[in-house]
Structure 1
């Protein structure tokens, strides 16, 4: 009985107290509290509460009345965006806080969903092109003042993203760069010369300029940098940037395989150098070569317009839509042209006429694909091909159903317009700016917010319209524009 009386008394007191407080708040807001109440501790609390509430209300009103104005020029600058995801421990994603977290942040080794890279916006740079090597990324940028630069981030154990000393006084250098840093080039006219194209292999980088030729740096153990092989050469902390001289003047693109390099000229002629143990140089032998030489075979008399190579299997596309292949075929990537595991000279791949005219080819470690003029995707090889978990290998290019890329009765005009390939994964971009990926996903490089392998093409939730995509071994980079 006593307990019940105490409980009821406390309840009545608390209710009365809250009513009194609310009454005092109302009186305080209207300014009608007596002098005695104003001197009490209850009034001080109420006054503090009402004063804070008034300030908050005023601030909210000011925010509502604020009008932001942007000129057309500024809006266009803000539209360009770069998103990255995948393995972050190497620094290849270029987001510094992932490996050097600030207060109340934790370091992360991988990012399994698209993350916006704000480095370029904050430094007034516009990204023109990107290349993904094995654990590193290259960015070709334009500064707002018209300056043309190439930046690198990620693994630098073989100086594949340039020479980066710790400081001016020390002889120490960085083996890992966790944020994009400028790569210094020995250009004669740096203000007038522009970088047109670049690519990265396992541990080397090659880039093309418009007026001063082709340059290379990084590991040259097999001649992949286009220069003579030097036994026991030290590549770590090596500032050497080599200008490749044994090339014609009309080179328009450079392509890096794992440890070899290919050069495509305006006339459609192909040159190569580097490791040839799988025949990937296409020069008719299996030796390594440090001097670029012309690739012949079935390519003679053809005008090649595109080359694809992420590892040791090479695909080339002619202006007529014919496909040629050479290099590694351990997983039957080139079973249509050979019964052997290696092909050291280009051969024409006999593709069925039902596949249509081919406009794009893609080649990974053991997976291959192409895109026809109707926006249809075909894949073959060994691994995750996009044909489901029960199909791991096929020697014949097989079409992936168009509905897998979003084509349906509501949007029948949706089709794939670009196809890329990493070592273990595919990426396709549609004419609606959607990105679809499938393949191995050990480090979250597919961007699905998980690390599960994806056996069918699946749309990546990128909050922008995707313009282009680049696939590394374990990371992905996309260039986007905000939705209009």
Structure 2
């Protein structure tokens, strides 16, 4: 026996649930039929995935991982971070054993951190049972002295070995954590104890110019002003500050050399070798070059215009790891050089000149001829590329499963990560990784 369905009632229910827009999208001759509209994501919907070593809490879900029947000390595949789904994340960054997230909110707490906190790099948090000060197991708010919290927006975060930089749209840059080499942009205090330290320093501007972007190296920091000038401070023993000397400098000072007079749009650094990209698509470098990243010297303390990048076409993106460098040109071609796992197979571990990684390794084929790489990223010893389709490819040392490939073996050429969403940004630490994504549907 069939049951009659009152389609007009279903239509009213659908209109009440989905709004008149759903009703108006249906031709008039079909108005008597029920309307079924499946939920779809918007440009503001997002997900954050984390993977890699879990023991230091940087994945933000250590409690759940260790409470399982078989505790997980690492996660070798991307795992959704539910904290991020309850908040809109503007930016995220991996430090050495910790992760930081900036939220799009008018509330006072706009930055959250999780993981190692031995130097108060994710703020002061009073010790309590089960959650000691030195390790934070889940994202917690970081106290920052905003003047107008409801009007200030945190646009970017950057994390080093044990220090943090936070860029705002109205109040400059806030720094916290280890300042033993002046990497927080304040005077070095001999014997200062950073464990449980509550000092937060503010850098309102650099030489009268507002700050456009920030980058943390291992123990030094870099700022690009809205005029395209680069400023550096912190540890400079390998020339990574680019100030023309190998000393320590706590004041944000202008990088010297070939970048002077150039409009720099991006700076990249994961350790102590720095790359800078100009508006014209030229690449500059300074810092540690013992693996042949920049030239035949051991250290370079002022910016050099890299001649080996001039014949690669206009460069659109750059990345610098601990021992290798990578650039992306306007045709979507990726070039690597330096030492380590470079992404061109297990037989090649040292390249003096930029060498193209075959585009077929990034998903290009005759069925997807429009596939091209849109951005590149380097951690200390692993690398990544993101395509225009939002696919993430990783390769390199696989400490703690930080490549997200489902295992812990090293990967010698780019391999696609099964992440289940469109990747918008990826950040690498030493042994963990995260990606800010947008749902496919």
After TM superposition, list the pairs within 5 Å mapping 1:78-89 onto structure 2: 79-89=45-55
CA contact (8 A) 1:255 1:309 kept: yes
**Closer, same or farther: CA 391–81 of 1 in aligned 2, 3 Å:** same
Is 1:421 aligned with 2:405? no
After TM superposition, list the pairs within 5 Å mapping 1:135-284 onto structure 2: 135-143=97-105, 149-166=110-127, 174-244=133-203, 247=206, 248-284=208-244
SS of structure 1 residue aligned to 2:361: helix
CA contact (8 A) 1:213 1:249 kept: no
**Which of the pair has more CA radius of gyration?**
1
1:291-320, Cα deviation, whole Å (9 max, x unpaired): 111112111111101000000000001011
Q: How many aligned residue pairs are there?
A: 408
**Closer, same or farther: CA 353–331 of 1 in aligned 2, 3 Å:** closer
Structure 2 CA distance for aligned equivalents of residues 73 and 461 of structure 1: 23
**Residue of structure 1 equivalent to 2:78:** 114
Displacement after TM superposition at 1:442 (Å): 2.2
SS of structure 2 residue aligned to 1:125: coil
SS of structure 1 residue aligned to 2:258: helix
Structure 2 CA distance for aligned equivalents of residues 409 and 74 of structure 1: 30
Displacement after TM superposition at 1:97 (Å): 2.9
Task: Give unpaired runs (5+ residues) of structure 1.
Answer: 1-65
Structure 2 CA distance for aligned equivalents of residues 321 and 86 of structure 1: 33
- State which of 467, 473, 477 in structure 1 corresponds to 2:430: 473
- State which of 395, 398, 401 in structure 1 corresponds to 2:352: 395
Could you tell which deviates more after superposition, 73-82 or 311-320? 73-82
SS of structure 1 residue aligned to 2:368: coil
1:145-173, Cα deviation, whole Å (9 max, x unpaired): 77661000000000000001135xx9x96
**Residue of structure 1 equivalent to 2:257:** 297
**Residue of structure 2 equivalent to 1:6:** none
- State which of 403, 406, 409 in structure 2 corresponds to 1:449: 406
1:83-120, Cα deviation, whole Å (9 max, x unpaired): 1100111100111434552xx54432110011111123
SS of structure 1 residue aligned to 2:394: strand
Structure 1 CA distance for aligned equivalents of residues 309 and 163 of structure 2: 37
Structure 2 CA distance for aligned equivalents of residues 73 and 238 of structure 1: 47
Structure 2 CA distance for aligned equivalents of residues 178 and 243 of structure 1: 27
Q: Please identify runs of 4+ aligned residues in structure 1 that moved more than 4 A.
A: 66-75, 145-148
SS of structure 2 residue aligned to 1:351: helix
Tell me the C-alpha RMSD between the 2 structures: 2.2
1:199-237, Cα deviation, whole Å (9 max, x unpaired): 010000011112212111100000000011111110000
Higher helix share: 1
TM-score by length of 1: 0.80
Displacement after TM superposition at 1:244 (Å): 2.5
Could you tell which deviates more after superposition, 108-117 or 92-101? 92-101
Structure 1 CA distance for aligned equivalents of residues 84 and 43 of structure 2: 11
SS of structure 2 residue aligned to 1:97: helix
Structure 2 CA distance for aligned equivalents of residues 163 and 442 of structure 1: 29
Displacement after TM superposition at 1:128 (Å): 1.1
CA contact (8 A) 2:282 2:310 kept: no
After TM superposition, list the pairs within 5 Å mapping 1:348-387 onto structure 2: 348-351=305-308, 353-387=310-344
Which of 1 and 2 has higher RCO (CA within 8 Å, sep 6+)?
2
CA contact (8 A) 1:224 1:274 kept: yes
1:394-419, Cα deviation, whole Å (9 max, x unpaired): 11000011101111111111010011
CA contact (8 A) 1:148 1:191 kept: no
Structure 1 CA distance for aligned equivalents of residues 270 and 17 of structure 2: 45
SS of structure 1 residue aligned to 2:400: coil
